[in-house]
Structure 1
Amino acid sequence: MMSPKPLSKFPPGTKVKIVSFCGGCRLRGRMCALGIFPGVEIEVSRSCPLQIKVKDSTLLLGKGAGEKILGIPIEE
Protein backbone atom coordinates (compact mmCIF):
# COMPACT_ATOMS: atom_id res chain seq x y z
CA MET A 1 0.00 0.00 0.00
CA MET A 2 1.21 3.49 -0.81
CA SER A 3 1.75 5.96 1.99
CA PRO A 4 -0.98 8.61 2.24
CA LYS A 5 -0.29 12.16 1.12
CA PRO A 6 -2.24 15.45 1.35
CA LEU A 7 -5.03 16.08 -1.15
CA SER A 8 -3.24 19.24 -2.26
CA LYS A 9 -0.40 17.07 -3.67
CA PHE A 10 -2.59 15.13 -6.14
CA PRO A 11 -2.85 16.37 -9.75
CA PRO A 12 -6.26 17.17 -11.27
CA GLY A 13 -8.11 14.11 -12.54
CA THR A 14 -6.81 11.83 -9.79
CA LYS A 15 -9.29 9.65 -7.92
CA VAL A 16 -8.37 9.42 -4.25
CA LYS A 17 -9.55 7.38 -1.27
CA ILE A 18 -9.56 9.39 1.95
CA VAL A 19 -7.46 7.69 4.64
CA SER A 20 -7.22 10.12 7.58
CA PHE A 21 -7.03 13.72 8.82
CA CYS A 22 -4.08 15.56 10.35
CA GLY A 23 -6.31 18.21 11.87
CA GLY A 24 -8.27 18.59 15.05
CA CYS A 25 -11.89 17.83 15.84
CA ARG A 26 -13.14 21.04 14.19
CA LEU A 27 -11.66 20.06 10.82
CA ARG A 28 -12.93 16.48 11.16
CA GLY A 29 -16.42 17.65 12.07
CA ARG A 30 -16.57 20.10 9.18
CA MET A 31 -15.31 17.55 6.65
CA CYS A 32 -17.66 14.82 7.90
CA ALA A 33 -20.58 17.26 7.55
CA LEU A 34 -19.53 17.71 3.89
CA GLY A 35 -19.35 13.94 3.34
CA ILE A 36 -15.55 13.70 3.48
CA PHE A 37 -14.38 11.00 5.89
CA PRO A 38 -12.04 7.98 5.83
CA GLY A 39 -13.07 5.44 3.20
CA VAL A 40 -14.81 7.94 0.89
CA GLU A 41 -13.62 8.16 -2.71
CA ILE A 42 -13.25 11.61 -4.23
CA GLU A 43 -11.84 13.08 -7.43
CA VAL A 44 -9.50 16.07 -7.53
CA SER A 45 -10.85 18.43 -10.23
CA ARG A 46 -8.54 21.41 -9.83
CA SER A 47 -5.52 22.14 -7.68
CA CYS A 48 -5.63 25.90 -7.02
CA PRO A 49 -7.99 26.43 -5.30
CA LEU A 50 -8.48 22.77 -4.44
CA GLN A 51 -11.70 21.61 -6.08
CA ILE A 52 -12.94 18.08 -5.44
CA LYS A 53 -15.93 15.97 -6.44
CA VAL A 54 -17.60 14.01 -3.65
CA LYS A 55 -20.49 11.84 -4.86
CA ASP A 56 -22.76 14.32 -6.71
CA SER A 57 -21.25 17.49 -5.23
CA THR A 58 -18.34 19.73 -6.15
CA LEU A 59 -16.53 21.39 -3.25
CA LEU A 60 -13.77 23.99 -2.94
CA LEU A 61 -11.36 23.54 -0.04
CA GLY A 62 -8.81 25.98 1.30
CA LYS A 63 -5.09 25.25 1.15
CA GLY A 64 -4.96 24.45 4.87
CA ALA A 65 -7.70 21.84 4.64
CA GLY A 66 -6.11 20.34 1.53
CA GLU A 67 -2.86 19.87 3.46
CA LYS A 68 -4.58 18.15 6.41
CA ILE A 69 -6.71 15.59 4.54
CA LEU A 70 -4.68 12.52 3.61
CA GLY A 71 -5.49 10.07 0.86
CA ILE A 72 -4.12 7.42 -1.47
CA PRO A 73 -4.68 7.21 -5.23
CA ILE A 74 -7.24 4.66 -6.45
CA GLU A 75 -5.87 2.21 -8.98
CA GLU A 76 -8.23 1.75 -11.91
Structure 2
Amino acid sequence: MSKETINNKENQKLGTSLPKCLTECEKGEEVVVLRVNAGHKAKTRLANLGVVPGVKITKTKNAPFKGPLEIIVKGSSLVIGRGLASKIFVECNEVCLY
Protein backbone atom coordinates (compact mmCIF):
# COMPACT_ATOMS: atom_id res chain seq x y z
CA MET A 1 0.00 0.00 0.00
CA SER A 2 1.42 3.38 -0.98
CA LYS A 3 1.93 6.27 1.42
CA GLU A 4 -0.71 8.31 -0.47
CA THR A 5 -3.31 5.53 -0.09
CA ILE A 6 -2.61 5.33 3.64
CA ASN A 7 -2.96 9.13 4.00
CA ASN A 8 -6.26 9.07 2.09
CA LYS A 9 -7.62 6.33 4.35
CA GLU A 10 -6.52 8.23 7.46
CA ASN A 11 -8.22 11.39 6.18
CA GLN A 12 -11.41 9.45 5.48
CA LYS A 13 -11.42 8.09 9.04
CA LEU A 14 -10.92 11.57 10.46
CA GLY A 15 -13.66 13.01 8.24
CA THR A 16 -11.28 15.42 6.54
CA SER A 17 -10.61 15.89 2.86
CA LEU A 18 -7.61 16.55 0.70
CA PRO A 19 -7.49 19.70 -1.42
CA LYS A 20 -8.89 19.29 -4.92
CA CYS A 21 -9.56 21.64 -7.79
CA LEU A 22 -13.06 23.00 -8.32
CA THR A 23 -13.48 21.04 -11.56
CA GLU A 24 -13.28 17.77 -9.58
CA CYS A 25 -16.21 18.68 -7.32
CA GLU A 26 -19.61 17.13 -7.79
CA LYS A 27 -22.70 19.10 -8.74
CA GLY A 28 -24.33 20.49 -5.58
CA GLU A 29 -21.20 20.09 -3.48
CA GLU A 30 -20.43 22.93 -1.05
CA VAL A 31 -16.72 23.63 -0.65
CA VAL A 32 -14.37 26.23 0.85
CA VAL A 33 -11.69 27.93 -1.24
CA LEU A 34 -8.18 27.13 -0.01
CA ARG A 35 -6.07 28.89 -2.61
CA VAL A 36 -5.98 30.12 -6.20
CA ASN A 37 -2.96 28.95 -8.20
CA ALA A 38 -3.07 31.52 -10.98
CA GLY A 39 -1.38 34.65 -12.21
CA HIS A 40 -2.01 38.15 -10.91
CA LYS A 41 -4.76 39.01 -13.45
CA ALA A 42 -6.70 35.80 -12.83
CA LYS A 43 -6.43 36.17 -9.04
CA THR A 44 -7.61 39.78 -9.27
CA ARG A 45 -10.57 38.79 -11.48
CA LEU A 46 -11.59 36.02 -9.10
CA ALA A 47 -11.18 38.30 -6.07
CA ASN A 48 -13.45 40.86 -7.75
CA LEU A 49 -16.03 38.08 -8.18
CA GLY A 50 -15.71 37.16 -4.49
CA VAL A 51 -13.68 33.98 -4.97
CA VAL A 52 -11.00 34.32 -2.28
CA PRO A 53 -9.54 31.88 0.27
CA GLY A 54 -12.01 31.04 3.03
CA VAL A 55 -15.18 31.75 1.04
CA LYS A 56 -17.85 29.05 0.57
CA ILE A 57 -18.72 27.99 -2.98
CA THR A 58 -21.49 25.71 -4.21
CA LYS A 59 -21.04 24.13 -7.64
CA THR A 60 -24.46 24.12 -9.31
CA LYS A 61 -23.86 23.21 -12.97
CA ASN A 62 -21.22 21.49 -15.02
CA ALA A 63 -21.48 22.19 -18.77
CA PRO A 64 -20.80 19.26 -21.11
CA PHE A 65 -17.74 18.94 -23.36
CA LYS A 66 -15.42 20.66 -20.89
CA GLY A 67 -17.53 23.80 -20.88
CA PRO A 68 -17.87 26.38 -18.10
CA LEU A 69 -19.02 25.77 -14.52
CA GLU A 70 -21.78 27.57 -12.67
CA ILE A 71 -21.07 28.31 -9.02
CA ILE A 72 -22.78 30.23 -6.24
CA VAL A 73 -20.56 32.61 -4.28
CA LYS A 74 -22.06 34.71 -1.46
CA GLY A 75 -25.54 34.26 -2.91
CA SER A 76 -24.57 35.26 -6.46
CA SER A 77 -24.56 32.86 -9.39
CA LEU A 78 -21.35 33.01 -11.46
CA VAL A 79 -20.18 31.19 -14.57
CA ILE A 80 -16.44 30.65 -14.96
CA GLY A 81 -14.43 28.80 -17.56
CA ARG A 82 -13.10 25.36 -16.82
CA GLY A 83 -9.49 26.53 -17.19
CA LEU A 84 -9.92 29.17 -14.52
CA ALA A 85 -11.90 26.77 -12.30
CA SER A 86 -9.05 24.26 -12.47
CA LYS A 87 -6.81 26.81 -10.71
CA ILE A 88 -9.15 27.12 -7.70
CA PHE A 89 -8.27 24.61 -4.98
CA VAL A 90 -10.95 23.76 -2.45
CA GLU A 91 -11.84 21.39 0.38
CA CYS A 92 -15.18 20.14 1.60
CA ASN A 93 -16.99 22.54 3.92
CA GLU A 94 -18.54 19.80 6.04
CA VAL A 95 -17.23 16.41 7.07
CA CYS A 96 -16.57 14.50 3.86
CA LEU A 97 -16.67 10.74 3.87
CA TYR A 98 -16.10 9.05 0.53
The structure with the largest alpha-carbon Rg is 2
Normalising by the residue count of structure 1, what TM-score does the alignment of the two structures yield?
Answer: 0.92
Q: How far is 1:2 from its partner?
A: 2.2
Count residues with an aligned counterpart.
76
Q: Which runs of 5+ in 1 are unaligned?
A: none
Query: What amino acid is aligned across from residue 69 of structure 2 in structure 1?
Result: L
Which of the pair is proportionally richer in helix? 2
Higher relative contact order (CA 8 A, sep 6+): 1
RMSD of aligned alpha carbons: 1.2
1:1-76 mapped onto 2 (5 Å cutoff): 1-48=16-63, 49-75=68-94
Displacement over 4 Å in runs of 4+: none
Name structure 2 gaps, 5 residues minimum: 1-15
TM-score (norm. length: structure 2)? 0.73
Deviation at 1:42, TM superposition (A): 0.9
